[in-house]
Chains A and B, each alone.
Chain A
Amino acid sequence: MPELGRKGFGLLSILSVLLLWELICRAGLVNLSLLPPPSQIAPALWKIVASGSFLVPLGQTLGMLLIGYTIACVAGVALGLLMGCSDYLYGLLEPLVEVIRPIPKPALIPAMVVFLGIGAGMKITMVALAALFPVLINTLQGVRGVDPVLLATARTLGCSRLATIRKIILPASLPMILTGMRVSLSMGLVLVILAEMLAAESGIGFLILDLQRSFQVRPMYAWITILAAVGLVLNVLFEMVEDCAVPWRAK
């Protein structure tokens, strides 16, 4: 089926959900002050987009997300590879990773504020810390899951450790790594919004909370829509990167 037809389906389902939403509101089944229909949210959305006032908060949120995410990905892949290939490093770091991982990062805010303050640094660290683990775990799992036949072949051909990592392990684990990075992207977005809600004066997360607090629900939903769009765009971009990086993956 042509690409257009595929996208068409998707669009159709989104539109039907919106229609349902509109009908539910019109039927009076919900309190309109708390859940306005799309027809009321759209003008608020248009106002924000047309005036360009969405650019600054968007830039701030995306900026923090991208910095934190990049750090998390680089560190996650590096650590994952190291821990996967070296027993010693695995033994050294695994307990620490397993101890920090289950702690919800917002629970660490009091400690982080003590060391990093309340500024962008603290928030980026929170984002990076939260996004680190899915990448790390998936890289580890990917490295572990490398077909032993491939490794035996490498040994037979006399490949060095580094070459083996570069030419066999990394490409073989790439699908897993990319899946992990994908999860990390969503995690990172959640954390950046949460961080902005907890201690910020700007950014999309802060705006949504602020509008909720002053009960301006229509602009609030407009911003949530923008956030959803941002998330979608990020995902589409990621998928494009994924297609380039692992074209050999069976589709």
Chain B
Amino acid sequence: MSEAKFSIGIDLGTTHCALSYVDITSSDGENVAQEVLPIPQLTAPGSVQSQGLLPSFIYLPHASELAPGDLGLPWTAEQDYAVGEMARSRGAATPIRLVSSAKSWLCHASVDRRADILPHDAPPEVARLSPLEASLRYLKHLRAAWDQAHPEAPFAEQEIVVTIPASFDPAARELSAEAAKAAGCEHMILLEEPQAALYSWIQKSGGNWRKQVQPGDIILVADVGGGTSDFSLIAVLERAGVLELHRVAVGEHILLGGDNMDLALAFAVASKLGAQGIKTDAWQLRALTHACRGAKEALLNDASLSEVPLVIASRGAKLIGGSLRSELTRAELTATLLEGFFPDAAIGDRPQVRGRAGLTQLGLPYAHDAAITRHLAAFLARQVAATADLEGFTGALPEGATFLHPTAVLFNGGVFKSELLAERTLGTINAWLAAEGAPPARPLEGADLDLAVARGGAYYGYVRRGQGVRIRGGTARSYYVAIESVMPAVPGMQPPVQALCLAPFGMEEGSDAALPEQEFGLVVGEAVRFRFFGSSVRRQDQVGTLLDDWEPDELQELAEIQTTLPAEGRADGEVVRVKLHARVTEAGTLELEALPHDGPERWKVEFDARDAGGSEGSAGDAADATA
């Protein structure tokens, strides 16, 4: 196999994909030759144009909807679906054939992510896709675009970094890796998006970053994109005279982003129109959302504007008579965006569990509370002890601190293109810091908000070959499997469960966890399922630690895991004692295996287990701990 010439970073975003690449052979140290690939895509039937971003949408047209050749791409004439700009615009008028937000579905633990479920509200005759297949199609499109632009350096032979939200659970990580492999990425590694954003900032600073951070700093990366909000904390420390970066904590998965903001503004204007007796239909509401996005950007970027007119064209050819007119005022923008999404929260505030039901779309578990500042408060407070055990870290929290004090903030994601929103977020954090007598956090300047993640991914693929600084940290969660206590059945009462730690916090890529003492009795030939938990705060638990009880927000239940012991060489129905073993692959995915006590076999334990037949067998029924 030939040596990779390029390191390719792929941002597989909820609303947009991007691809950036570093020419490894002509880069040296901090002089990096980096580009962003323009992606040819259908912009209208029969019309192909290159754009820097590929909108993450797939349109599944009706057989008679388009003329032959209308879906042709520079590299294929055979495709029967559209990806990118045309999919987005066409799908806006026919949402039942539009696959969108596939990434949010990919980390939706309550659905089968390999099942053909998208578009979510499609009629039966539309051939649906699984969230996995949708991700695969975006990757295949990027691959084809690459191979066309760089025939001398085939995609499959390059070093590929695919970025994922830091909050992705093991199942979503594994599915992302699976999609990348299926798309032909031979050398693929996963990288958390907030880390990618920081890598991009480091690369752009051209070595100057060492002057902008000091040992003891805690960098908060706040990444609010089109569909998701993702937070990470990265500590700066010095070892043997060299600055090191450690990712010490990641936030929960929050389905909340810029698209929600545009939708909220559109609803505000629609209700204003409604008060004037003008009803808006679904088509007009979509047009209104689009108009509000433009008006929002105009108002946020020009403080002297007090209102921006909105015009929604009629669908017919009569443009002038049929248009709806309204306006978005600064007061409405402030009330909806600043008060709705970035309120002046106190550090003690927590996201509210109810409210804003009007904004949720059936299916995806959107955040109940739209207040990003309250989610941030909860994150920083939960992670107050994140650096307590970090060896060599010189920063210290004052006595009685109620949250981890960030000293620097790196903003990422399209939402923070608005300085007003970035300032509001920073101002809120600094008010929390001031209340505990800490100095204000400083913003890290110079990020490229749209492309930072793809650029950072490509840069990471380059630095992990040995050049430049790397962010350490390993897995950001510890993982547990549930063990049901043996007790007499009481109707209506769940037997109490214990949680057995299988994988400790901070496992590095390519490392194995120790083998726990506990054994499980598994029945040969039957699928056995376990309840599975993760914790982003329990840093001390080692393999084999058995938890009897825990705080409700300490452990989060993830999708169940499942394993089936093949019957080869054993009698059906035989009970085999196994141990569960965890390892983190080089690519960055978690793997669980069942190891029998009496043989060399290793059986894979599947994440995201689901009954194909629908008979709801309960986990743990067939498994009992024989500790």
Chains A and B form a bound pair: no
Which A positions have Cβ atoms within 8 angstroms of B? none
